[in-house]
Structures are given as structure tokens and as C-alpha cells.
Amino acid sequence: MTDNARDVIIVGGGIVGCLTAFLLAKEGLKVTLLEADSVGSHASGFAFGEMGALEGSGIPDPLLDFSVWSLQRHQSLSQEFKDASGVDNQFQITNRLTLAFDEDSVARLKKNLAWQQNVEAFNVSWVDSEEVVKVEPMASPLSLGGVHVQNAASVEPYRHTLAAAQSAEKNGVEILQRRVTGLLSQGGRCNGVSFDGGQLEAGMVVLAMGPWAGQSSAWCGLEIPVRPLKGQILRLENDAGPIKTSLYWSGNYVVTKPDGLTWAGTTEEEVGFDEDTTRQARDSIMADLLKMAPSLTDARLAHHTACLRPLSVDGMPIVGKVPGWDNLYIGTGAGRKGILWSTGMSFGLADLILKGNSDVPGIEFLGLGRFTEG
């Protein structure tokens, strides 16, 4: 695609940008995706990839249905990606065990059971301290119990994003390495984008810029309330045995992935756009890991990564048309749930672009206008 007859320009090569491009191209639209660095080179490629639909901002109200829909759509999408691109994103059904080490945590987790056990997509139960180690032998025997969730899921995030990008290309999407610097506009219409060294025109533009979305505030003429939330992950060689059930505690996690490494994390750091790994984070993650799985004392560090997640001010994603514009759309702000919510966000964006509305449940709560209305 070398002429200016583009239907859509998508800014950002993370999972939301790549998946939205794929969905639009499948419907016959001519799509160009612009990425400043490389596809999946930030949070979408370095996330944990576990998809917990029963916790997080906006859950259960108003985003439980959105989260469950997003999770269930991943399974068929993974096969669709594999058929189109040949890339296996290692989608798998997993179990999760959230541990409690004090009575306050026990009370909080049991309180949430009242609604979690009514979600038909999952089998959710409380297990006591003796049952914890039966569910996952590597879990700490010192826990007071935990919530066991069956029928959760995970993907390998970089392979997932790569599969989306290559599937998009197979459907005619043009992917270019360009750093966008502004919008081409006339009145309330966006005619394309400018970048270092040139510009491109299109009938519609989608901003899927992750934590850099806030930088587009000046382009759009209104605040995009998104900031970077840094997270670090360790990948460990572990001779003690695999952890087959994902363990969670106080925002931390550990599990053995299909690559044979034990992944552990994470941090939540408000440090701007600093993506460097740190010794302090490594030590903190290891301490939390040993709280959950004390037998991993001799685990060896194989890889240490850091990424910047896009976090909106209310923790929920931002999806939809930008207020005041006829043909400018945005998808960002999913924080630690970007991989899970990417399906709901991208299918929702594609629907809004193609037909002006969407059947994705909960999408009506995610517009950018929620921060300014009233």
C-alpha cells in the first residue's frame, strides 16, 4: 500500500493497535499501522500474560461482563491467529490460587466469593490451608487459605502481539516504523497524521499509544488522562519443580510458563517513562515470591524485564471516539489488564468504526467523555 487511499491509520504497535488493525482489515478496510519502535516492544510484549477476569478496577461493577467476554474471546482468537500467521501464542486454560496470610485478607477474599461464585464461566471456591498445598504443592504451607479459580487463562504476551501483527499483515495491513508527531485536521475531522519526515492521510485515525497516549492531549485539544505505570518481572530457572497453578498474593504472582521458566512479579512504580530494571525491584519480587513459594530459594535469575503499562486515572480502559472529533478514536489505559482487556477494547473499537455501535458488553462505560461529562 503506497498511495494515500487509506481508510484507517492506527498509531501504536501494541496489542490493541495490532488487533484492531487485524479486525478492520478482515472487513476489507485499508489499514496502515505506525509504530515508533517495533511491534510488541513495550508492555504488550513484556507483560505477564495471565488473564484474571474476576479482579481489578471496575470489577464487578461495571466491567465484570466486559472482562468475562474479553477472556472468552481469547480462545477462539488464538486459533484464528495461528491459522493466519502460524504463530502459536501459547494460549492455555489455567487455574489461579490467591493466598491469604492474615485474617484481614481472609475476610476480604471471602467477601468477594459472594459474587464470584455466581459467575458461570468459572468454578470459584475457598480452600483452607491444608487444601492449598494439595491444589499447588509449591505453595506456602503457612497460608491461611485462598481462593481457587478454575478456567482462567493465559497467553505468552510477545507471541500474542506478534501473532496479531502478522495476522494483520496477512490481511493487507501495512506496518511502518514512524514516530507520529501530530494530527492533520480540518475543523472536527482528522485527515491523517504527521511524523518525523512526512505525513499520511486517511479517512479515520485510531490512537493506540499505550502510556504515551497522554502526549496526544495537545493534538486532540483535551486531556487524555493516562500515565505510565512501571512493572518489572523476573524469569527464573527452577530445579524445585514447576508451579502449575498460578499463585497470587497482594498484587504479586508466580507460575511456571510453557517456556519452562518460572515467571514472578510485579512492581507498580510511578517513575515516568523510565524502563530500566532495578536491583531494588528484583529483591522485592524475590521476597514476595518466597512468601508464596518458599521452596524456590535456590531459583536462578534467567531474565529480568521492565515495561510501562498505560494506566488511566480510574483504572479502567479508554475506548471510543474522541469527543469533539468526527473520525478520531482512542484505545488505551488498561493498566495491568491490557492483555485480557485487549479483545474487548479492539472488538469494541472495530465495531464503533465499522457500524457506530458495539455489542461488546460494558463498552458504553469506557468512553473518554466520562472524565469531562458533568
pTM (two decimals): 0.95
pLDDT at 224: 96
Average pLDDT over residues 332-340: 96
pLDDT for 101-142, tens place per residue? 999 999 999 999 999 999 999 999 999 999 999 999 999 999
197 or 169: which carries more pLDDT confidence? 169
Residue 122 three-state SS: coil
Residues 6+ apart with CB under 8 A from 373: none
Does pLDDT of 8 surpass 90? yes
The average confidence (pLDDT) of the chain is: 95
Helices (H) and strands (E) in the chain, counts: 9, 18
Does pLDDT of 5 surpass 90? no
- Domains of the chain plus CATH, in order, are 8-51+158-225+313-371 (3.50.50.60), 95-153+231-312 (3.30.9.10)
Output the nine-digit C-alpha cell for 79: 486459533
Output the nine-digit C-alpha cell for 306: 521492565
Would you say 151 and 245 are in contact if contact means Cβ atoms under 8 Å apart?
Answer: no
For the chain, percent of residues with pLDDT exceeding 70:
98
Would you say 336 and 230 are in contact if contact means Cβ atoms under 8 Å apart?
Answer: no
Does pLDDT of 199 surpass 90? yes
**Residue the block writes with cell 504515551:** 212
Average pLDDT over residues 244-264: 95
* Stated length of the chain: 374
Does pLDDT of 15 surpass 60? yes
Residues 6+ apart with CB under 8 A from 331: 16, 17, 20, 206, 207, 208, 317, 318, 319, 345, 346, 348, 349
pLDDT at 2: 43
Does pLDDT of 86 surpass 60? yes
Peptide bond into 294 cis (omega under 30): no
Query: H or E stretch including 147?
Result: strand 145-154
Does pLDDT of 3 surpass 70? no
What span, in angstroms and rounded, lies between the C-alpha atoms of 207 and 195?
14
Output the nine-digit C-alpha cell for 308: 510501562
Residues 6+ apart with CB under 8 A from 236: 261, 262, 263, 264, 296, 299, 300, 301, 302
Does pLDDT of 310 surpass 80? yes
Does pLDDT of 368 surpass 90? yes
8-state DSSP, 111: H
332 or 188: which carries more pLDDT confidence? 332
pLDDT at 4: 56
Q: Name the pLDDT band for 197 (thresholds 50, 70, 90).
A: confident
Output the nine-digit C-alpha cell for 244: 502449575
Residue type, 163: A
What span, in angstroms and rounded, lies between the C-alpha atoms of 228 and 238?
31
What span, in angstroms and rounded, lies between the C-alpha atoms of 121 and 301?
36
What span, in angstroms and rounded, lies between the C-alpha atoms of 85 and 82?
5
pLDDT at 1: 38
SS3 content of the chain, % helix, strand, coil (to 5): 35, 30, 35
